Each structure stands twice: as C-alpha cells, then as structure tokens.
Chain A
C-alpha cells in the first residue's frame, strides 16, 4: 500500500515537473516573439533582450 502511494507521489512529482518545463518553454516563445496578446507588456519588457541577445526579427 505504502509502495503504491509512493509511486503515485513520484508520478505526480514528475508530472508537475514536466508542467513547469513546458511553461518555461512557452515563456521562451512569448519572450522571443513578444506575444503581447498572450502576456500583455512582454514585448516592451524584453525588447532589448530580443534584439541584442537573441537577434530576433522585430520592429
């Protein structure tokens, strides 16, 4: 019983960890392309970073 609960907890931990990674990956997309429609203000917030560090096409 204890072993089953432990396995469930481990799987939940893995799932939450995977969710965090996916969220960070989405954040990279929002930062790289300045997706204001999803995260308002992100375009201006990372404008210099987008140009200088990533060299992304921007206005």
Chain B
C-alpha cells in the first residue's frame, strides 16, 4: 500500500502546530480553572505542555488523514472533533481500567476529567483550523 506523503505531511504539520497551541491553551485553561495546582515553573510547563500537545495533535491528525474518507460526516470539523474526542476517550477508558486494576496508583478526578474532555473537543477545532490554512494559501 502506497502512502500519499503530501497528504500525510499536510495532516501531520496541521496536527503538530494545532497540538502545540492546544498544549498552551490547556495550560491557560487550567490556570483559569485551577483544577490542578501546577507544580513546576511557567517555562517548564510551557515546554512540556507544548511537546505533549504536539504529540497528541500529531496522532489525532494522523488518524484524521487515515480515516477521514470513511467517517460519517460531510465536513472536516465534526470529523476532527470526533477523532480527537475518540482518541481521548480511548486513553481515558484505558486509564480507568488501570485505575480498576491498580487504584493506589491511578485514580480519576472528575474536574480534571471534564477539563480533559472539553479540551479534546478544542483539539479537534484547532486541527480543523490548521488543516484548512494551507488549502486557502494554495488557492
């Protein structure tokens, strides 16, 4: 099976940029809500949230490249939101399973869970925005 490198590159770059920005949006959101008291310096948080967001965004965008033609929506925005949220749910339920098997180490916190779910929707929106940008520039 051949991979359309151009299509993948476009998706991965969109995911990388959207994810990095999403990491900083998540940092700002948590600063406003105060759901989790941050333990490190701002510079450290900016770097780790940026890297973590970029990884999450890249994987979500990768799935979007791979499956977008098979998803049950016409427009890209609901497809991107569906994928980023599904990826988050997959991670979350795996975490919940870990919590069931080792509750001493993993226990879910409702505030953080709701924040994470809401932010995964935001991730879909950001991927959509950065996916569309190069298309507009090419026209």
Contact = CB atoms under 8 A, between A and B. Distances in A.
Interface of A: 10-11, 13-14, 17-18, 21, 24-25, 27-29, 31-33, 45-59
Contact of A32 (B3, B36, B91, B115): B91
Contacts, number: 116
A53 B30 contact: yes
Contact of B58 (A17, A24, A46, A58): A24
A32 B95 contact: yes
Contact of B48 (A11, A48, A55, A56): A48
Interface of B: 2-3, 5, 8, 12, 22-23, 26-27, 29-30, 35-36, 38-40, 45, 48-49, 52-53, 55-56, 58-59, 62, 88, 91-92, 94-96, 98-99, 104-109, 112-117, 119
A52 B46 CA distance: 13
Which of A14, A52, A54 has the most CB atoms of chain B within a 10 A radius of its CB? A52
B104 A59 contact: yes
- Tell me whether chain A's interface is mostly helix, strand or loop, or mixed: helix
Given A33-B98, A55-B114, A59-B107, A25 B62 contact: yes
B62 A48 contact: no
A48 B45 contact: yes
Contacts of B40: 48
Nearest to B50: A49
B29 to A, nearest CB: 8
Given A25-B59, A58-B107, 13 more contacts: A21-B8, A27-B55, A28-B55, A33-B94, A33-B98, A46-B48, A48-B40, A48-B48, A49-B45, A54-B52, A57-B92, A59-B104, A59-B106
Contacts of A49: 23, 26, 45, 48-49, 52-53
